[in-house]
Structure 1
């Protein structure tokens, strides 16, 4: 047999065994005496997707929804009423602070654009809620330090939406290939994204529609001239609101490699790139970028291009971990172990789906069916961490390291490829005042940048 398909070999779903081994199949939460009171801030596609996955695995009452787009908010309210047991449309809010004050949710999911993550997360933690925060956790390094400080100060559990750690086929691959030493000594890893996902164009300026609070949506970010609804994919193409493909896609795969190999902060980060090809539109994020995250005797190398072909069409958004005895490739869709020894069998891991168990997934608009099981498992892990007073698998500290590393790569690129060494103890880049100054982004008045020692 030339290639071993692990699912066929085991005559069943390895992912189901993975879930069972983690104690997350049909688990009861001993401290839960009724529906958990949940609020969602940011009711766009992914925020709703996260909420619906939570509703599928826990007894939930949604006590509030928040969004500055009234149309999206009202549509979300109707959908939630159809999904939650009570059948109620939750209270709807434009301002998340009003939601937190009036509804006092115990659990808050944050699916807002990146530039709002820090303030929303810190305010939710101060209000006493446990938080599920989408990645990247912040748009600058000090924001991330402040969220981490707040989570520890208020003793709340923060799960970050880096759910590759909860992806069944990647859990299996880690356990059976990495943890057993099948790769031998590991001294190189590659992470990449070659999706053509960089929105670009030149839409004209126009009047802000009456159903959308653009001032509130912009929040602490610079106020760009209004040229259409920013929250329908458009915002991701601007550095004002995020960190480009690096902050959006590298954070997932870098985090996965760090988890698999038990890596902490890189010792040094270097990056180059820019807008090299797609220069015709307003987009200001890099269309081409390479970064090197250095660890002792190991480099993790990132590359993205939003143009051209992917070098490996089977793995256009992926990681590849190289050892002396073989290579492990992985993505949201599959994983493959390729040994150096031609006499040793290859091992293939398939993505795990739950279409039969959750048939409602099949009619949910824009759902990523391959990611839904991972998000459900991620939600269960978060609830288990709260119930047992342990850290969740994607704890905020790990999310901060992965996020900040990507931000530092962007800073290095901005500074012409300068190598950067971040010190989390001093929260500086020692000996480099110019780079240290870029660890905080200026906030638009009257918003105040959070500081780790003042949360």
Structure 2
């Protein structure tokens, strides 16, 4: 049974950097070997390692292995884990070799998006539970494969859409679904971030020492090494990611989908996309997008602007649930309700409510995953939820890439209606010797 009090204590130690606190070490030492959860990490550069640290804040979790194609990162992260836990994890550069280990309960996938599917399906087939960063995969078809694999092999799979575990979004969802705002007419979403422009154009360089670049490319097309397509900025190229739309969009769109009565993939998507700022910029993805999702319950309106940092209600990003009684505006720092005015009663139609100073929720999302590993309960963001959220990002990206203002998606047949060019982008083309996994 998940012990929330001990978890919160551990998380406090984590936040303060007190990894080797006697309290945490003593808590770890008290865990029987049979009760330990042994994890391995694929991709240690950024978010993957942060997620691993949240795992290690739980006393029952032990990291037994790390895998990366960059020896520099691998050396650094192995040292950090050893300092944190007192135990040195084993090192791997090939995910397939790591998955042969029989003493691993779960894996964390923090690689670029184009690797999610291959590793996740192989992990499920090897009997490992999976925590995979969002978006679930880099294509619609790969999301399907991952969901099928989790089901067929009876694996726990948590998609890293951690806002589902955060107080501010849970309370917002409950307020919306309770009817407090009245009937919801639309959900307005905006995300404005400078990094959405991508990096300035840079020439190709030699591959950094210690990097197995061909393995990093994996199933993606062969290309000369360029730092703009590598650590951090890879997401601006279709071969590896989906830009700002799939990076932030999938998080925020998930919060609109979450309040639907019966969340489903979008049946119709209306998209406007452009690259307004292309001067000296190195990217495939779009810096400016507006997308309409006409849903059964309400309209979702998504507005994205790479290179900008301001937005409605003084927030660079956020969600506004627009109801007949009032509008609830929320982002990761909190929420506030703006009531509608009743001219007859000369008073607000509802009371305003506010939550400020909310904390980030990666730790709680990880704790939910670890608890589900032990109980075999469904996690808060299971594969189908991850798939649906990813489709809300992938379909507009596909529409923009093929120049279609409107796309109709048949989720039963898993195809676009009447658009052959869009259907060509449902599945990626893997570079040999890599092949799409079979489930």
Band of TM-score, shorter chain: 0.7 to 0.9
Residue matched to 1:338 = 338
Match for residue 401 of structure 1 among 366, 388, 413:
388
Q: Could you tell which deviates more after superposition, 65-74 or 428-437?
A: 428-437
Separation in 1, partners of 2:33, 2:357: 32
How large is the RMSD of aligned CA atoms in angstroms? 2.2
Confirm or deny: 8 A CA contact 1:24 1:381 kept in the other structure.
no
Give the SS at the match of 1:207: coil
> For the Cα contact (< 8 Å) 2:65–2:92, is it kept in 1?
yes
Asked if structure 2 preserves the Cα contact closer than 8 Å seen for 1:158 and 1:396, the reply is: yes
Question: Partners in 1 of 2:60 and 2:199 — Cα distance?
Answer: 42
Counterpart of 2:42 in structure 1 is 41
The DSSP-based 3-state class of the residue aligned with 1:286 is coil
Name the structure 1 match of 2:131.
132
Which residue of structure 2 lines up, in the alignment, with residue 225 of structure 1?
224
Distance 1:266 1:43 in 2: 33
Partner of 2:153: 154
Q: Does 1:179 align with 2:177?
A: yes
The CA deviation at 1:103 is: 5.5
CA 1:285–1:100: 2 relative to 1, 3 Å:
same
Match of 1:265 in 2: 265
Match for 1:194 among 167, 192, 199? 192
Q: Offset at 1:312? A: 2.3
Structure 2 unaligned blocks of 5 or more: 8-26, 342-346
State the SS of the aligned residue for 2:76: helix
Matched, 1:376 2:377: no
1:82 equivalent in structure 2:
83
Q: Describe the superposition over 1:135-170 as per-residue Cα deviations: whole angstroms up to 9, x where unpaired.
A: 001111100000000000000010000011101222
Tell me, in whole angstroms, the C-alpha distance in 1 between the residues paired with 2:202 and 2:190. 30
Counterpart position of 2:326: 326
Contact 2:229 2:237 in 1 (8 A): no
Q: CA deviation at 1:31?
A: 11
Q: Any runs of at least 4 consecutive aligned residues in structure 1 with deviations exceeding 6 A, and if so which?
A: none
Instruction: Answer with 396-405 or 296-305: which moved more.
Output: 296-305
The aligned runs of 1:20-31 (5 Å cut-off) are 24-26=4-6
Task: Give the one of 400, 415, 422 matched to 2:402.
Answer: 415
What TM-score results when the alignment is normalised by the length of structure 2? 0.88
Q: Which runs of 5+ in 1 are unaligned?
A: 1-21, 354-370
- Specify which structure has the bigger relative contact order, considering alpha-carbon pairs within 8 angstroms and separated by 6 or more residues: 1
Is the contact made by 1:57 and 1:376 (CA closer than 8 Å) also made in structure 2?
no
Q: Which residue of 2 aligns with 1:352?
A: 358
Task: Kindly indicate whether the alpha-carbon contact (under 8 Å) linking 1:328 and 1:336 is maintained by their aligned counterparts in 2.
Answer: yes
Change in 2 beyond 3 A, CA 1:219/1:73: same
Q: Indicate yes or no: 2:286 matched with 1:286.
A: yes
* In structure 2, distance between residues paired with 1:125 and 1:221: 22
Report the Cα distance in structure 2 between the residues aligned to 1:272 and 1:53, rounded to whole angstroms: 38
The answer as to whether partners of 1:274 and 1:285 remain within 8 angstroms in 2 is no
Distance 2:313 2:88 in 1: 44
Cα separation, 1, equivalents of 2:67 and 2:397: 31
Is 440-449 or 120-129 further displaced after alignment? 440-449
Instruction: Return the TM-score normalized by structure 1.
Output: 0.85
Larger displacement relative to structure 2 (414-423 or 123-132): 414-423
Question: Are 1:53 and 2:54 an aligned pair?
Answer: yes
Deviations 1:173-205 (A, max 9, x none): 322x21321110002011111010132212221
- Is the 8 Å Cα contact of residues 132 and 160 (structure 1) preserved in structure 2? yes
Partner of 1:316: 316
CA distance in 1, matches of 2:216, 2:77: 17
Residue 187 of structure 1 aligns to a residue in which SS?
strand
